[in-house]
């Protein structure tokens, strides 16, 4: 188990170097995407563009640029943004809490709602409740999250003249109520949107497990239905569940960009979005690297958790 | 090929003509009565595909939009009017007729969906079947490539591609096509791996059937249900992805008729004119819902374990 973990972790730097190299080259090969042209304007003279290139270090060979950048990142220096010349590390630290809160809240919500209703739907198969849950799940997968979130802001504003606080970030320690009002709409939308897939999977696997022989045996022994469902059946649905939760982590990650944008929150997602539109290379490079690290670690945790869930799974 | 050709086609040839058109129609009627939701979904999908195809053809071949009005023309006199007889879905801040914009917007959604299906998913599915069947280096490439691709949030992939290639239909198409290519290949590979070892394929092989015979006559027809269901969901996912990108301002240029762009533009006036966000949002939701429900219904109908109950 430990050897397996170490081996997977040893691969991490390799993957990250590859990811960063691809991003780095992709950003620099196409001349029409040159940030200097964007900064100097369409009518800039070649001298002006060259001056900006020299200032940003874009005139050096790509290999030199890459090693310069990597060397700085490894020492914890992420460089400065192209436009506002702010320190990228400070900016990331400042924006991290908003994104982290949205992602954690929506992920928790989607797992709790998805699993609960998936189990209920499976145990009450072909009843009105089952049909209701399944219908809601299909709707949840079909209605775009940004539309739901816009509606969730729009409807209270028309009906109760209520406006959710928008913009900036208030830590729950400073002002819990404002923080809740700010993060409830995006987390609800992303959480419920994400729960749809979990719900459908949980229902399917639960139904399969409930049909299995050992569940019939458990029932035949006269165990209470509750105990059969919770201890015999549920435990055996955990492996596929963890897989889909791992997958919804990446979905929620992407959803947070849209949510931050609609709620005007200063999160990492919006930072990424702005930097892409402004061709702010060092920011895009770092955020790609950061996302890759988080996603790869999340996948590793998912893989390792199989061994805890199912004693038959062994890593060597 | 030659040896296999003698053995198998008889069964297929016999089966086809015995189903008279009337009986087959009656069979479809029974399926439709059992799946009213599927019928509604099919109507939505057919309506959307027809509208989208008409818009693509008319806009690329004749340069005109099939809609009551030009969706881009600015009419200062009719800005932000609510739904009326002249403008059933109202007008936006530039005085564009919203009904015309939504009709014309079907073009982009349809185009992206169709590209994802035709250039991405179907070749991917074929590749998946082949790699699952042969399991050689191609299998390795598809597997690792697909894993690396799926490891990233799709939106972040778009962002990286947009930084590199610039905004526009082409960039969205590239990312959506690659995603559906890997998506299709991974699903079909897994199925092909399982189907490959089934008895009837072993039997066919023991009768001397060649690989290409088994692939085209046995494996592909038997994984067809999965391809059809997958095609439906690829469309849903692509329509959603395009609208999300356009909503974020990462898609087509502003002013282009696209449901995501319309929804995003409507936000600034939505408190007084909620229809500006409601109609584009409903258009996206309805189409995606149609494809998802159709996929679900098809899965129920085509699932071999349920098939017996329908005939």
DSSP string, A93-156: HHHHHHHHHHHHHHHHHHHHHHHHHHHHHHHTTTSHHHHHHHHHHHHHHHS-HHHHHHHHHHHH
What pLDDT is attached to residue A32?
58
| Distance between first and last Cα of chain A | 6
Alpha carbons A172 and A98: distance in angstroms, whole number: 11
Q: Is the pLDDT of residue B102 over 80?
A: yes
Q: Is B157 helix (H, G, I), strand (E, B) or coil?
A: helix
Alpha carbons B290 and B113: distance in angstroms, whole number: 14
Q: How many CB pairs under 8 A join A and B?
A: 113
Q: Is the pLDDT of residue A92 over 50?
A: yes
pLDDT confidence tier of residue B305, bands split at 50, 70 and 90: low
Looking at every residue in chain B, the average pLDDT score rounds to 77
What pLDDT is attached to residue B311?
29
The per-residue b/e assignment along A45-68, b for 16 or more CB within 10 angstroms, e otherwise, is eeeebeebbeebebeeeeeebbee
B151 contact residues in A (CB cutoff 8 A): 250, 292, 295-296, 299
For residue A195, which phi and psi values (nearest 5 degrees)? -70, -20
Q: Is the pLDDT of residue B83 over 60?
A: yes
- A98-146 per-position pLDDT tens digit: 888 888 899 899 989 988 888 888 888 778 888 888 888 888 888 888 8
Cα–Cα distances (Å) from A315 to A241, B32, B212, in that order, read: 19, 49, 38
- Selected for mutation to probe chain B from A107, A137, A142, A160 (highest B CB count within 10 Å) is A142
Determine the distance in angstroms separating the CA of A125 from the nearest CA of chain B, rounded to an integer: 16
Determine the distance in angstroms separating the CA of B215 from the nearest CA of chain A, rounded to an integer: 30
| Higher per-residue pLDDT: A286 or B65 | A286
What pLDDT is attached to residue B287?
92
Q: Do A33 and B163 touch (CB under 8 A)?
A: yes
B155, B271, B288: residue with CB nearest A157: B271
What is the mean predicted confidence (pLDDT) over A69-96? 81
pLDDT confidence tier of residue B145, bands split at 50, 70 and 90: confident
Q: Do B244 and A144 touch (CB under 8 A)?
A: yes
Looking at every residue in chain A, the average pLDDT score rounds to 81
B261 contact residues in A (CB cutoff 8 A): none
Nearest CA in chain A to B279: A147
What is the mean predicted confidence (pLDDT) over B75-81? 71
User: Best-predicted range by mean pLDDT among A51-65, A153-167, B211-225, B230-244?
Assistant: B230-244
What is the mean predicted confidence (pLDDT) over A60-80? 81
Q: Is the pLDDT of residue A33 over 70?
A: no
Residue A252 near residue A316, CB atoms below 8 Å: no
Which residues on neighbouring strands pair with residue A265, listed in sequence order? Answer: A168
Residue A192 near residue A145, CB atoms below 8 Å: no
- B222-235 per-position pLDDT tens digit: 888 788 888 888 88
Is A102 near chain B, with CB under 8 Å? Answer: no
Q: Do A291 and B156 touch (CB under 8 A)?
A: yes
What pLDDT is attached to residue B6?
43
**What is the reported pTM?**
0.79
What is the mean predicted confidence (pLDDT) over B184-213? 82
| Higher per-residue pLDDT: B243 or A4 | B243
Q: Is the pLDDT of residue B107 over 50?
A: yes
What is the mean predicted confidence (pLDDT) over A50-75? 80
A257 contact residues in B (CB cutoff 8 A): 155, 248
A273 contact residues in B (CB cutoff 8 A): 159, 248, 250
pLDDT confidence tier of residue A31, bands split at 50, 70 and 90: low
Q: Which residues 6+ apart lie within 8 Å of B266 measured at CB?
A: B92, B273, B276, B277, B280
pLDDT confidence tier of residue B8, bands split at 50, 70 and 90: very low
Number of C-beta neighbours around residue B212 at 10 A: 10
Q: Is the pLDDT of residue B215 over 50?
A: yes
What is the mean predicted confidence (pLDDT) over A276-291? 83
What is the mean predicted confidence (pLDDT) over B228-246? 86
What percentage of chain B reaches a pLDDT higher than 90?
Answer: 2
| Higher per-residue pLDDT: B139 or B176 | B176
Which of these ranges, A201-215, B82-96, B196-210, has the smallest mean pLDDT?
B82-96
Q: Which residues 6+ apart lie within 8 Å of A127 measured at CB?
A: none
Which residues on neighbouring strands pair with residue A168, listed in sequence order? Answer: A265
What percentage of chain B reaches a pLDDT higher than 70?
Answer: 87
What pLDDT is attached to residue B229?
81
3-state secondary structure B30-48: HHHHHCHHHHHHHHHHHHH
Is A184 near chain B, with CB under 8 Å? Answer: no
Residues in A 274-293 with any Cβ partner in B closer than 8 A: 276-277, 279, 281, 284, 287-288, 291-292
What is the mean predicted confidence (pLDDT) over A48-73? 80
Give start and end residues of each alpha helix (H) in chain B.
2-7, 9-18, 21-34, 36-57, 98-115, 122-134, 137-150, 154-165, 169-196, 199-206, 211-213, 220-247, 259-266, 275-302, 304-310
What pLDDT is attached to residue A88?
82
């Amino acid at each position: 188990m430990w050897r397996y973990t170490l081996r997977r972790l040893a691969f991490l730097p390799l993957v990250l170097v590859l990811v960063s190299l691809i991003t780095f080259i992709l950003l620099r090969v196409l001349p029409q995407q040159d940030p200097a042209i964007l900064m100097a304007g369409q009518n800039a003279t070649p001298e002006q563009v060259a001056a900006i290139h020299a200032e940003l270090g874009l005139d050096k060979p790509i290999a030199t640029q890459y090693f310069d950048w990597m060397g700085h990142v490894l020492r914890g220096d992420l460089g400065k943004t192209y436009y506002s010349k702010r320190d990228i590390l400070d900016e990331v630290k400042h924006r991290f809490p908003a994104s982290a809160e949205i992602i954690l809240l929506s992920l928790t919500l989607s797992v709790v709602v998805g699993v609960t209703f998936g189990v209920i739907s499976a145990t009450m198969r072909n009843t009105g409740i089952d049909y209701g849950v399944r219908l809601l799940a299909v709707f949840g997968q079909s209605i775009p999250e940004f539309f739901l979130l816009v509606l969730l802001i729009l409807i209270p504003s028309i009906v109760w003249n209520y406006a959710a606080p928008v913009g900036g970030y208030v830590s729950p320690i400073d002002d819990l109520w404002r923080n809740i009002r700010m993060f409830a709409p995006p987390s609800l939308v992303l959480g419920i949107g994400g729960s749809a897939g979990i719900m459908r999977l949980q229902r399917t696997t639960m139904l399969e497990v409930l049909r299995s022989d050992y569940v019939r045996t458990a029932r035949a022994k006269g165990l209470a239905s509750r105990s059969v469902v919770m201890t015999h059946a549920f435990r055996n649905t955990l492996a596929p569940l963890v897989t889909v939760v791992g997958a919804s982590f990446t979905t929620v990650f992407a959803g947070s960009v849209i949510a931050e944008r609609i709620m005007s929150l200063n999160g990492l997602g919006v930072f990424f979005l702005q930097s892409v539109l402004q061709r702010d290379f060092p920011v895009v490079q770092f955020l790609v690297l950061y996302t890759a690290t988080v996603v790869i670690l999340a996948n590793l945790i998912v893989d390792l958790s199989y061994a805890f869930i199912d004693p038959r799974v062994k890593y060597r | 090929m030659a040896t296999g050709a003698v053995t198998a086609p008889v069964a297929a040839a016999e089966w086809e003509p015995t189903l008279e058109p009337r009986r087959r129609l009656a069979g479809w009627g029974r399926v439709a009565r059992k799946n009213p939701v599927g019928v509604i979904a099919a109507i939505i999908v057919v309506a959307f595909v027809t509208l989208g195809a008409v818009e693509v053809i008319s806009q690329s071949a004749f340069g005109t939009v099939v809609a009551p009005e030009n969706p881009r023309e600015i009419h200062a006199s009719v800005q932000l009017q609510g739904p009326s007889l002249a403008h059933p879905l109202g007008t936006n801040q530039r005085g564009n007729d919203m009904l015309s914009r939504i009709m014309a917007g079907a073009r982009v959604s349809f185009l992206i969906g169709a590209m994802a299906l035709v250039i991405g998913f179907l070749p991917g599915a074929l590749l998946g079947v082949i790699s699952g069947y042969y399991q050689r280096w191609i299998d390795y490439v598809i597997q690792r490539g697909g894993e690396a691709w799926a490891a990233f949030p799709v939106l972040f992939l778009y962002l990286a591609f947009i930084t590199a290639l610039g905004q526009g239909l082409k960039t969205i198409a590239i990312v959506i096509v690659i995603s559906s290519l890997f998506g299709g290949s991974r699903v079909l590979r897994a199925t092909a791996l399982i189907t490959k070892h089934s008895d009837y394929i072993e039997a066919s092989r023991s009768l001397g059937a060649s690989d290409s015979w088994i692939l085209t006559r046995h494996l592909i027809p038997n994984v067809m249900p999965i391809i059809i269901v997958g095609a439906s969901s690829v469309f849903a996912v692509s329509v959603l992805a395009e609208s999300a990108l356009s909503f974020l301002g990462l898609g087509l240029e502003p002013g282009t008729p696209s449901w995501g762009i319309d929804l995003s533009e409507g936000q600034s006036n939505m408190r007084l004119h909620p229809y500006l966000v409601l109609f584009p949002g409903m258009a996206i939701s309805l189409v995606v819902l149609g494809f998802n429900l159709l996929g679900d219904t098809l899965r129920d109908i085509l699932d071999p374990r349920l098939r017996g109950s329908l005939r």
